[in-house]
Amino acid sequence: DPDVVRRMHEHRLSTVPNPYSGRRLVGQLTRAGFQVDPDVAATAVVAPGGAMLVLVRKTAEPAVAEGAITAAEGDQLIADLTAAVATGEVFTAVTMFGVVGRR
């Protein structure tokens, strides 16, 4: 359910001090007085769908506890993902950013 995923995602972002830090690394390092190397890298780490289940469970629990989604919505999301993992329909992708700065 896209609405459940959206609410859970918004809840998770609200708990992270700097949720878009990867996109802001160059500016943050420059403002802090670092000389930033021009080679900024981003890569996506792709893993089987089972890894997604771990992440979704860890994200769903506090979202339920704090009322962002209901327990029934969280359970249904986990059930849907479990079924999709069993048939190979999902995978996990996490984007990682790398920046080198020197003083």
pTM: 0.74
Predicted confidence at residue 76, as pLDDT, reads 97
Give the pLDDT confidence of 7-37 residue by residue, as tens digits.
Answer: 999 999 999 998 888 888 889 999 999 999 8
Alpha-carbon span 88 to 82, nearest angstrom: 10
H helices of the chain, in order, are: 2-14, 21-31, 49-65, 71-86
Q: Is 60 exposed, middle or buried (0-12, 13-18, 19+ CB in 10 A)?
A: buried
Distance CA 94, CA 52 (A): 10
